[in-house]
Amino acid sequence: MVPEFIVEGFIRAIKELGVEEFVNKLRFEQPRNEQFGDFATSIALILAKELKRNPRDIAQSIVDHLSFDKRLVEKLSIDGPGFINVKLSTAFFANELERIFQCGEDYGKSKKGYGQKVNVEYVSANPTGLLHLGHGRNACIGDCIANLYEWIGYDVTREYYFNNAGRQMQNLARSIFARYRQLLGEVDFPFPEDGYHGEYIFEIANEILNNFGSKYAEETDENLEFFKKYGENWCFQKIRSTLEMLKIHHNVFYNEDSLYKEGKVEEVIRLLREKGLVYEKDGALWLALTKIGLNEDRVIVKSTGEPTYRLPDIAYHREKFLRGYDLIIDILGSDHIATVPDVLAGLKALGFDTSKVKVVFHQFVTLMENGLVVKMSKRSGRSYTLDELISEVGADVVRFFFIMRNVSSHLEFDLNLAREQSEKNPVFYLQYAYARIASIFDTAKERGIEFNFETSTECLHLPQEINLIKLQTRFPEVIEVAAEKFEPQILADYLYDLATAFHTFYHDCRIIGSNEPILSARFKLAKVTQTILRNGLTILGVSAPERM
């Protein structure tokens, strides 16, 4: 984050040059190359184009009009085609470190979203089976995004939308029932055409057999209802325990069925009809999407009387709007991309501001082992469930791996790397940095080494130290950007850089054994790093161990 006084200084200089209409073009960046200082701006190059003057001359004029506190700015220079580079002083960084230290344990939090409500919907798997790897990525991304918004001050609702009614659940009931009858000895009992073939159906059937014997063998509506309920509870309990392993908790479980029971779906049809956007054709009810800018009309109620997903989805999102959210975030797999425009168009037609809805699409997960795609789990011989993956490599690794790539990129989950309990594994690299810091404080305590956080840190001047402070100042900004872009990976990358900077510092600069004031200053540096690592890891849902 560029210090205020630098920005203000440049704005003043630009105004004094009489070109204040270009003030909004002022941007700063952190140069890749250290030699160019801490912050750079290409404003002179931009002005050169507008004013048709030599960029270096303009840069010189700007610099001539700049007046900074000499204590804070070490050097101003004009380099290359006309970049203005600013190098800050050790006094400046000492001030920054002190400022961060004063923020305490909450460093990184902001009030940016104060008073605003956000709803993050993620996982949302129906209770018809176990969570698989795609759900895992969805869950981790959603939970991180929810955490990020909490950190920037939003009032966050974590929501899970599910459907325990309708055809899919009937299908589940019939699948379990078929397996149950097969287990009872009717080996040829027909399995439903599009039934759930997973191994877990046998497990459920077997459980029912063990608990109730042949009590439910008769194929009646009542009994099928029992199988449905039993299957639903079984699946939901599994899903919840899997999420629990990842420390993921939702505040609201929203049942699609309630939209029907409370007449919300009917209401949406009525409202759309009032707008003249609904018509009947071939015995079905259609939504006239072509009237609101889309390419094709779509069915919302099938000729069988059942609605398609679009209708309850519109009703559901309408409910979210009516509950007063300022921001509605949906986390969806890329296989849902095509469904969203219809739903948004419907909502827009109903008069809602759909710019408040942000849909985050994540690409798929491919499990790799020894350079090959893994389709099946070795232990169970079935496709990998999220459960199995977690018990194999641990929750921390799963959570980190699922967010360490760009949300919109395919994620290659390398089992070999994930199993690796060593420096190769980036999760341990971060945790190790944290544990090392904890260890320094432990050692200091054991040896009775005293330090004082009141001591000035202006003595810190080595590149390893300054680099660490620079990274520390960026933390709040990183959280904001990661939240706004719905991209937890930005935070993961940042933490990795911070850990690297700390490991380098740790290696080159001893803390215990230094003399005052270096001793206290470095302890403060370590303390702040520790806070940031802990906060960052917490947002990612990864534990911060005191010892490794």
Q: Which stretch binds RNA (CB under 7 A): 141-149, 210-218, 234-242, 540-548?
A: 540-548
- Across-strand partners of 411? 365
Residue indicated by tokens 């014997």 = 213
Candidate list 15, 512, 517, 543; residue touching RNA; CB under 7 A: 512
Single-letter residue type at 476: P
Q: Could you say whether residue 338 binds RNA (CB under 7 A)?
A: yes
Q: Which stretch binds RNA (CB under 7 A): 108-116, 172-180, 232-240, 305-313?
A: 305-313
210 versus 355: smaller Cβ distance to RNA = 355
Instruction: Tell me how far the alpha carbon of residue 210 is from its chain's centroid.
Output: 42
258 versus 443: smaller Cβ distance to RNA = 443
Candidate list 97, 146, 415, 511; residue touching RNA; CB under 7 A: 511
> Would you give the DSSP letter of residue 124?
-
What are the strands of the beta sheet with 372-373, ordered from one edge? 372-373, 365-369, 411-414
Taking the complex as a whole, the smallest distance from the CB of residue 510 to RNA amounts, in Å, to 4
Within residues 60-79, the interface with RNA by CB under 7 A covers: 79
Candidate list 267, 412, 450, 516; residue touching RNA; CB under 7 A: 412
Taking the complex as a whole, the smallest distance from the CB of residue 208 to RNA amounts, in Å, to 26
Q: Could you say whether residue 191 binds RNA (CB under 7 A)?
A: no
CB 483 within 8 A of CB 151: yes
Candidate list 439, 452, 453, 461; residue touching RNA; CB under 7 A: 439
**Whole-number Å distance between alpha carbons of 5 and 187:** 80
Q: Which stretch binds RNA (CB under 7 A): 131-139, 390-398, 409-417, 455-463?
A: 409-417
49 versus 70: smaller Cβ distance to RNA = 49
Q: Could you say whether residue 370 binds RNA (CB under 7 A)?
A: no
Taking the complex as a whole, the smallest distance from the CB of residue 284 to RNA amounts, in Å, to 4
Residue 336 to residues 131, 342, 359, 486, 517: CA-CA distances in angstroms? 17, 11, 10, 18, 58
Q: Could you say whether residue 409 binds RNA (CB under 7 A)?
A: yes
- Collapsing DSSP to helix, strand or coil, 358 comes out as strand
Q: Could you say whether residue 111 binds RNA (CB under 7 A)?
A: no
Q: Helical H runs in 164-300?
A: 167-183, 199-212, 221-245, 256-261, 264-274
377 versus 406: smaller Cβ distance to RNA = 406
Structure-token pair, residue 431: 């945790």
Within residues 14-53, the interface with RNA by CB under 7 A covers: 27, 29-33, 35-36, 40, 42, 45-46, 48-49
Within residues 235-294, the interface with RNA by CB under 7 A covers: 281-284
Q: Could you say whether residue 426 binds RNA (CB under 7 A)?
A: yes
The kind and range of the H/E element at 253 are strand 252-255
Q: Could you say whether residue 190 binds RNA (CB under 7 A)?
A: no
What are the phi and psi torsion angles at 421 (to 5°)? Answer: -95, 55
102 versus 515: smaller Cβ distance to RNA = 515
410 versus 461: smaller Cβ distance to RNA = 410
**Who's near 332: CB < 8 A, 6+ residues apart?**
138, 340, 359, 360, 361, 362
Q: Taking the CB of residue 84, how many other CB atoms lie within 10 A of it?
A: 26
Query: Can the peptide bond before residue 476 be classed as cis, meaning omega within 30 degrees of 0?
Result: no
